[in-house]
Each structure stands twice: as C-alpha cells, then as structure tokens.
Structure 1
Amino acid sequence: MKKNIYEELTNEKLLKKRGLLKGASIGLGIVFVLATTILIYLLTAKGFKNVPIATLIPVFTMSITFIPLLINLSLMNKEIKSRNL
C-alpha cells in the first residue's frame, strides 16, 4: 500500500497547499467549462465537418489533467480531516 505523502507535512504547509490546489482546481474548472462551451458553440454553429479535429484536443487533455488534481485534493482533504484541522 502506498504511503500518504501528506502525512509528513506540517499543519500550516498542508493548509497552504490545499488552498493552492483548491484555487488551481477552481481556475482549471472555469477554463474547462469555457472551453467546453466554446466547443459546443462551434459544433452547433459550423457543424462537425467544418470544425478541425485539433479544436477537440485541448478539451480532452484538460479533463485528463484535471483528474489527478482532484485526486490529490481529496487525499489532502482526508489528511486534514484526520488531523481535525
């Protein structure tokens, strides 16, 4: 079983890192929603055949990079909850 990397951090560093990850996830989430909205608009306005496939790549890669961020944030929240902070 893997060791939790957040057990070694002090309380202050843990809370600071959680704030940073929370802000990054909110920012990335907003960008993801905007990119998805723009993609849906392009697909409805121009049709799927007139939109290059390269416009789909950022939306899919953004979701792939968003998953580890949320996993780390949930691990950090579990550690904070276990410390009763």
Structure 2
Amino acid sequence: MRKNIYEELTNKQLLKKKNLLKGASIGLGIVFLFALFILVYLWSENKLKNGSVGTFIPIFILPITFVPLLINFKLINQEIKSRDL
C-alpha cells in the first residue's frame, strides 16, 4: 500500500500546501472557462470554418490536468481531517 506523503508535513506546511493547490485549481478553472468561452464564441461566429482539430486540443486536455490536482487535494483534506485541524 502506498504511503501518504502528507503525513510527514507539519500542520503549517500542510495548510500552506492546501492553499497552494486550491489557488492552482481555481487558476486552472478560470483558464479552462476562458478558453471554452473563446472557442464557443469563435464557433458561433463561424470563424472556425477552416480551423483544424488542433484548435480543440486544449479544451480536451485541460480537464485531464485537474485529475492529479484533485487527487492530491483529497489526500491533503484527509490528512487535515485526521489531524483535526
């Protein structure tokens, strides 16, 4: 079984890491929504007639980048809950 890497951190480091991951997830979410709105706007204005499939790659890749972030966020929250912080 894998060892929880967050057991070795102090309370202050754990809370700092949680805030960092929270900020990163909010930032990535804003970038994803901004890219999605731009793509929908361009599609609705018919400016993507000659666009390639490469235009849509960021929209499909960005949600995949959330998976490791959310896994680490879940592990941090479990460790915080186990320490009763």
TM-score by length of 2: 0.88
Runs of 4+ aligned structure 1 residues displaced above 4 Å come to none
1:76 equivalent in structure 2: 76
1:15 equivalent in structure 2: 15
Given residue 29 of structure 2, which amino acid in structure 1 is its aligned partner? G
**Take 2:67 and 2:39, find their aligned partners in 1: how far apart are those partners?**
20
Shift of 1:44: 2.1
User: 1:27-46 alignment to 2 at 5 Å?
Assistant: 27-46=27-46
Unaligned runs of 5+ in 1: none
**Take 2:45 and 2:52, find their aligned partners in 1: how far apart are those partners?**
13
**Take 2:8 and 2:32, find their aligned partners in 1: how far apart are those partners?**
32
Given residue 5 of structure 1, which amino acid in structure 2 is its aligned partner? I
Q: CA RMSD in A?
A: 1.5
Aligned length: 85
**Take 2:14 and 2:50, find their aligned partners in 1: how far apart are those partners?**
48
Deviations 1:57-82 (A, max 9, x none): 11112111111111111111111111
Unaligned runs of 5+ in 2: none
**Take 2:3 and 2:74, find their aligned partners in 1: how far apart are those partners?**
15
**Take 2:27 and 2:2, find their aligned partners in 1: how far apart are those partners?**
29
Q: Secondary structure at the match of 1:50?
A: coil
